[in-house]
Amino acid sequence: MPLGEIVGGFYGDEGKGLVTAYLSIQDKIDAAIRSQGPQAGHTVKYQGKDYVFRQIPSAIFNQNTQLLLAAGTYVSPKVVAEEVQKFEPFNVRKRLKIDEIATVILDEHVEKESALVGSIGSVGTGVGGAASDRAMRRPDILVKNFSELKEYSDGVHVSDITNDLLDEGKTVLIEGAHSTHLSNLHGSYPYTNAYDNTASALLDQVGLGPYAVKNIYLVFKSFVSRVGKGPLNGEISEEEADKLGWVEHGTVSHRRRRAAPFDVELARKSIKLNTPTDLVLTKLDIVYPLAAGIRYYNDLPQESKDRISYLERELKVPITLIKTGPEVNDIVDLRKEKGTIF
């Protein structure tokens, strides 16, 4: 009954969606689950085209994969409708199920959160306002009360579906929408999300026990970036980021991401909080351009292999997936060699 989780190790933008898309195809995942909110966008390049996901799991490319939004999801009916239409060539409408007790984001939640955009750098999509109402047990904000979501949610309990799949020996993957150091409990509060983003929190949001999980993939980018306010150890100037090619913009906010070198101490804290079985290193090609597009470890430039070995020694967890480009299949997969195959 293999269950895997994709968890971000820094402040987001590590490439969790790309990893989800790759595993859904490579490992023939039976169901992919997403929880949390639409304020984070996952960009996936598949067969030369960019796809942006804010709500639906990034596993649409394997059309045998069920797509589930868990009870811990903050749902924007508008975003769901847009993505169902946008991804219709992948038959998303028939594959999508939304837990009927997930929370719906209302226009008033967006308005309520607008003050936080300036003060703490919130993206302003209304998740904080919706989370506040959920904590106060407001009854009318559940998915089951919204007719436009009924075709996906009528009688749906994702916890039951997932546990049944695992009992049948099916493979399930949880795609974390956000990242460890944006956790409301363990991140740089108040510059955080409205909820926890760690591996244990994802299980809770879906409705699974701790012994259900087999593989936890903790995703680190080869450098650190952050949208909005909050601490960023070793932050470099925009001019320096320009020279290094570390220029990125938020998928949803469109704001320029601040940048810093890989932070080993921050990574160690993430490992303590998430107890991963596997580390994933993304955007190796940005730091080591000669690694671009390589899919076999022995073909990587020696400098990048030395860096990978150094990080494994320091972090004491195997790096089993290495992203070398923006395409889903631009990846070095070492899971079989290192004994952690999903």
Find how far residue 65's CA is from the centre of its chain.
17
Mark whether 42 is an active-site residue: yes
Is 332 in contact with 324 (CB distance < 8 Å)?
yes
Sign of CA dihedral 100, 105, 107, 112: positive
Provide the H-helix boundaries in 37-135.
77-86, 92-95, 107-119, 127-135
The rounded distance, in Å, linking the Cα atoms of 201 and 203 is: 5
The residue annotated as part of the active site, out of 42, 109, 181, 186, is: 42
Provide the H-helix boundaries in 71-198.
77-86, 92-95, 107-119, 127-135, 150-153, 158-167
Is 225 in contact with 246 (CB distance < 8 Å)?
yes
DSSP structure string for 235-262? PPPHHHHHHHT---B-TTT-PBPEEEE-
Tell me which amino acid residue 99 is. Answer: D
Instruction: Supply the DSSP symbol for 150.
Output: H
The rounded distance, in Å, linking the Cα atoms of 231 and 224 is: 12
Instruction: Supply the DSSP symbol for 212.
Output: G
Is 219 in contact with 9 (CB distance < 8 Å)?
yes
Mark whether 181 is an active-site residue: no
Which residues carry out catalysis? 13, 42
